[in-house]
Amino acid sequence: MKCVNQTARKNRVYWFTELGTSIQRRLRIQLELPSLRHGFPDVNWDIYGLTINKRYSAVLKAMVRPMHVAAIRRFALGQNPNLRMCRNNIYDAMKVLRKLRLVRLLWIRSKKHPLVELSEEGRRVRTLLSRSRRDLGRMERNPH
């Protein structure tokens, strides 16, 4: 294994080396398991490691279209009713996500408050966050 976001202090992300991948492939053949296709999107792993934080990932997963901050909170709480998050948590997350260039503001002339939308990098990170949670649940139900 190797760390793919080596500058991170927390939330490090690890993946197989070439040797590890070949060993995994051989083991799956020996155990007669289907081969795995990962197909990760091209993301900045340092940024991905920062977004593993529960609140940041909840905000990113909730952003299915350009939305107001209040709508993001409602959507995130609808997806996870156990999530403890107030509107100020969303604003704090937005500051960080804007700094990372994962989201951008969308000002509409007739509206007082801007909408927030995902950037291209934000969409890739969101896809990976959603897939990793879904794949983890699948592995917990079926370890093979």
Task: Please say whether the dihedral angle defined by the alpha carbons of residues 67, 123, 16 and 8, taken in this order, is positive or negative.
Answer: negative
Query: Are the CB atoms for 121 and 102 separated by under 8 Å?
Result: yes
- Residue 9 placed within a domain: no
Q: Looking at residue 62, which CATH number applies to its domain?
A: 1.10.10.10
- Residue 30 placed within a domain: no
Tell me the pLDDT tens digit for each residue of 71-126. Answer: 998 998 888 888 888 888 888 999 999 999 999 998 988 888 889 999 999 999 99
Query: Are the CB atoms for 90 and 73 separated by under 8 Å?
Result: yes
- Residue 124 placed within a domain: yes
68 CB contacts (<8 Å, ≥6 apart)? Answer: 113, 115, 116
Tell me the pLDDT tens digit for each residue of 27-41. Answer: 989 999 888 777 777
Question: Could you give the count of Cα atoms lying within 13 Å of 103 in the half-sphere of its Cβ?
Answer: 31
- Structural domain boundaries enclosing 59: 43-141
| Mean pLDDT of all residues in 120-135 | 81
- Write phi, then psi, for 74 (nearest 5 degrees): -60, -45
Residue type, 4: V
- Residue 60 placed within a domain: yes
Q: For residue 133, what pLDDT band results from cuts at 50, 70 and 90?
A: low
Total tally of structural domains belonging to the chain: 1
Q: For residue 10, what pLDDT band results from cuts at 50, 70 and 90?
A: confident
pLDDT confidence of residue 137: 46
